[in-house]
Structure 1
Amino acid sequence: MKLSKVLLSAAIGLSVSQLGFAQTQITYKSAKTSSSYYQMAVEIAQAVKKDTNSELILTVEESQGSVQNVMESAFRGANYVFTTPPALVGLAQSGKAMFKGRNNPKFDEIRALFPIPSLTMHFVVSDKSGIESFEQMEGKDILLGKGSFGANEGAKYIEMFGLEGKINLSKVELSNAVSALKNGQIDGFVTAGSFPAPNVIEAAAGTGVKVLSLSDEQIAQTKRTKLVIPAGTYTGQQQDITTTSLPVVAYTSSAMDEATAYALTKAFWGQKQAMSDTSPWWKGVSTDMLSNINGKVHPGAAKYYREMGVTLSAEQQ
């Protein structure tokens, strides 16, 4: 009976891979299910499945944040992929800040695969507010929210640029920012996420808004990465927006075999255009963003980048 099954499989031309025995399961640790980054993870999982003909299957796991993702890298298996800003990897490997006293030699084995959309700062103000620059937010009602990267970063900029105590900070929840802006309860709000950001799209479509640009001097002062949101990204946006961003990268560890890392990286870039056609936030991702990776790139991913003609730095190899 067993022999007849083997002969039947051979007769109809089925490979071991087609029978499903070569399927590789990968855990992709992302973000909270309510975030755009979780949706991105689902899109990546679907794209990789399609590109590899189901030979790589990504199971998306919810996360409470990037610190958790990095911490779990020390205890998860070889096929663990997670997202985090490169800066956090550096802090983990040096045992600083939130990783102080939580050192683990496994952190040194973290390896980068590919960039995903950056956390992009948006300072959104209504046309009715008359605000044309960051300085003109003085005396206005601005919603920061609380607890998020955008809220913390926005508060830092307000202090840094001499506006602390000069802005009326609204108590409205960020989830109500768009309706509050439309109703005139606030003059603007601060949010961070991939661009185009869904709440900024909604605000721009429903009422006249402006997303403020920061000067090169202000960006240098923040010590964040400069990012340009192209004209036409949002309704009524006629000029490029210059703002700051926090790069985000998909990582694994050196325990992942080279073939899997290669196939995963190849599938991501192979499907990026198709993902961009469905979700515009992928349009801003390019191989130029590999320069934001301060640590090492996985050898399997590096192999694919060499084939693409992309040059990695000495520190990344």
Structure 2
Amino acid sequence: MDKKRISKFAAGVVGILILAAGIGVASRPFWDSTTSGLRPDKTSEPQLMILTIGTADSGGTMYPVGSAIAQALTAKEPFLKVNTSASSGSLANVQGIENGQIDMGLVSADVALVAYEGKAEFSGKPVENLRVIAAVYSSLSNWMVRENADIVYVHDLIGKRVALGPEGSTTELSARNALTVLGINKNNTQFLNYGLGTAGTAVMENDVDAVHGFAGIPINGLEEMAQKTPTRLLQYTDEELHKILARNASYSRSIIPAGTYTGQTQPVETFGVKCLLCVSADMDEELVYTITKALYDSVDEMAEEQPVMAEMKKEDFCYSNLPVPLHPGAEKFYRERGLVQD
């Protein structure tokens, strides 16, 4: 295995073995999905495995979803300890998986696609080893302004101060994708990079005109803003949505139902994208099989804690219409359950 691809789970196990035994490095670990444990060989006792999952900032959906996944995997598999790592989002998580800084990462499907194909931010450097375990929820485009702002549609943002999201995040990428279609760019509008929490405060203090969120709904940072001041969700026209979808293969039409946010009385049509739990192709197949099984068997518990994850209960949601291949360990699990067929 390439040194740059050595996964953190192997490093974690090595550390545990060294601390426990005070002796040299163990051989390549073997994951036994029957006895549920990491074993340096097929006869020794299972060893604790420590994994890290990359999320995003705490104002969006990735962070709590990542926490729910970590808790579920740790609870279902006694020889797994899963920690979360906050980041700027999908782009950082792809890079973290690629360089071995994290073992798993939540990645928006649009970012996964350009990374795998070597386009946009990954131009000339495709991340060909990126693989999927499962889709876990959908992110939707949400634009929020103060209710007294003279802004109703997203195209009204031209010439305004617009908080796109953290720099390099999926939130920023999706905002730019949509605004480009609408003819809004940095030459005619002021683009700013804020986290959701600080952006909401900036809008309330009239330092920013609008904030964009791209996450599972309701987005915590936007709901906190709606609870503190009267707000409005901006709309796309039907023609605008059609153009946005035509230019972005990973997106699909969706709706923000009425009542999603405090004071929201009407549904708002928008677009969204699946969020994926990704790993490197180099991760051990039996380990990924065990993670996939534990994740799939924990859907009810995760959806109860994070309702946005209830989408995992929908037929085909987890394993179909994905922009990059399933990891062989995940595919093996889905095939055994009769969910994926040739």
- Residue 149 of structure 2 corresponds to residue 129 of structure 1: yes
Structure 2: stretches of 5+ with no match in the other structure: 1-34, 40-44
Q: In structure 1, what is the equivalent of residue 240 of structure 2?
A: 218
CA contact (8 A) 2:52 2:104 kept: yes
Separation in 2 of the partners of 1:48 and 1:117?
Answer: 17
Task: Report the alpha carbon displacement of residue 67 of structure 1 after superposing the two structures with TM.
Answer: 4.0
Aligned-pair identity (%): 25
1:252 maps to which of 279, 302, 306 = 279
TM-score (norm 1): 0.72
**In structure 1, C-alpha distance between the alignment counterparts of 2:282 and 2:157, rounded to whole Å:** 50
Matched, 1:195 2:217: yes
Q: How many residues align?
A: 293
Partner of 1:291: helix, strand, or coil? coil
The unaligned stretches of length 5 or more in structure 1 are 1-15
Cα distance in structure 2, aligned partners of 1:80 and 1:225: 28
The 3-state SS of whatever aligns with 2:255 is strand
From the CA coordinates, give the structure whose radius of gyration is larger. Answer: 1
Q: Partner of 2:327 in structure 1?
A: 298
**Which amino acid is 1:42 matched to?**
S
Give deviations 1:208-227, integer Å, cap 9, x for gaps.
32222324432232223333
Q: Is the 8 A contact 2:57 2:89 kept in 1?
A: no
SS of structure 2 residue aligned to 1:27:
strand
Residue 48 of structure 1 corresponds to: 73
Q: Aligned in 2, Cα 1:192/1:91: closer, same or farther, shift over 3 Å?
A: closer
What is the alpha-carbon root mean square deviation over aligned residues? 3.8
- Cα distance change of structure 1 residues 183 and 100 upon mapping to structure 2, 3 Å threshold: closer
Partner of 2:94: 70
Distance 1:109 1:162 in 2: 35
Measured in 2, the distance between the counterparts of 1:182 and 1:74 equals 39
Secondary structure at the counterpart of residue 281 of structure 1: helix
Kindly state the Cα deviation for residue 230 of structure 1 after the two structures are TM-superposed: 3.0
Superposed, which structure 2 residues align to 1:56-205 within 5 Å? 56-63=80-87, 65-74=89-98, 76=100, 80-102=103-125, 107-129=127-149, 131-137=151-157, 142-144=162-164, 147=167, 148-163=169-184, 169=190, 175-183=197-205, 187-205=209-227
Q: For 1:132, what is the secondary structure of its paired residue?
A: coil
Confirm whether residue 229 of structure 1 aligns to residue 253 of structure 2: no
Note the C-alpha offset of 1:173.
5.0
Secondary structure (helix, strand or coil) at the match of 1:129 reads coil
Q: Indicate the structure with greater helix content.
A: 1
Alignment partners' CA distance in 2, 1:205 and 1:292: 36
Partner of 1:9: none
Q: Is the 8 A contact 2:161 2:192 kept in 1?
A: no
Distance 1:48 1:241 in 2: 35
Q: TM-score, normalised by structure 2?
A: 0.68
CA contact (8 A) 1:247 1:292 kept: no
How far off is 1:132 after superposition?
3.4
